[in-house]
Amino acid sequence: MPPAPARRAVPFAERAGPILRSSTTMGARLGFTATPAHGNGRGAVHGGMLATLLDEAMGQLVEDVAGVPGATVELGVSFLAGVPADGVVTAEAEITRLGRSLVFAEATVFDSAGQLAARGRGVFKLLR
């Protein structure tokens, strides 16, 4: 299935994107084409952009699984490697625990060569 624009309109993410999305059998995959505009001044994608991608991947999956949006109440990011600001960057997310009001998720970011670049963990409050 070809990538489609992220389902939910998020003005901040749209300004950083476009962020494209596809579904997998186990979760969600989001990505964007990195350009120097996403850079940190050293030719790598800014960590804030990678954190945004992780948050969006987990948040959209939460909404897909729970059927209602979730608000990020906790976000942790581990940066593992620099990502060149000149290729496709992807994030894959999965739900680790689905409760009545909170959802726990994890996501990973990969550079255009498929190398692991960051890991994220999030807790989302369901907005019922």
- Residue numbers of the domain that contains 83: 4-126
122 bridge partner residues: 75, 105
pLDDT of residue 19: 73
Span 61-108, pLDDT tens digits: 999 899 999 999 999 999 999 999 999 999 999 999 999 999 999 999
Nearest to 57 by CA among 127, 128, 125, 122: 122
Q: Which long-range contacts (CB under 8 A, 24 or more apart) does 16-25 make?
A: 16/49, 16/52, 19/53, 19/56, 21/60, 23/64, 24/92
pLDDT of residue 61: 92
With cut-offs at 50, 70 and 90, classify the pLDDT of residue 2. very low
**How many structural domains compose the chain?**
1
pTM of the model: 0.86
* Secondary structure class of 60 (helix, strand, coil): helix
pLDDT of residue 1: 41
Neighbours of 47 (CB within 10 A): 14
Span 33-61, pLDDT tens digits: 998 989 998 889 999 999 999 999 999 99
pLDDT of residue 41: 86
Degrees, nearest 5: CA angle 41-80-13: 60
CATH label of the domain that carries residue 65: 3.10.129.10
pLDDT of residue 84: 95
With cut-offs at 50, 70 and 90, classify the pLDDT of residue 24. low
Q: How many residues does the chain have?
A: 128
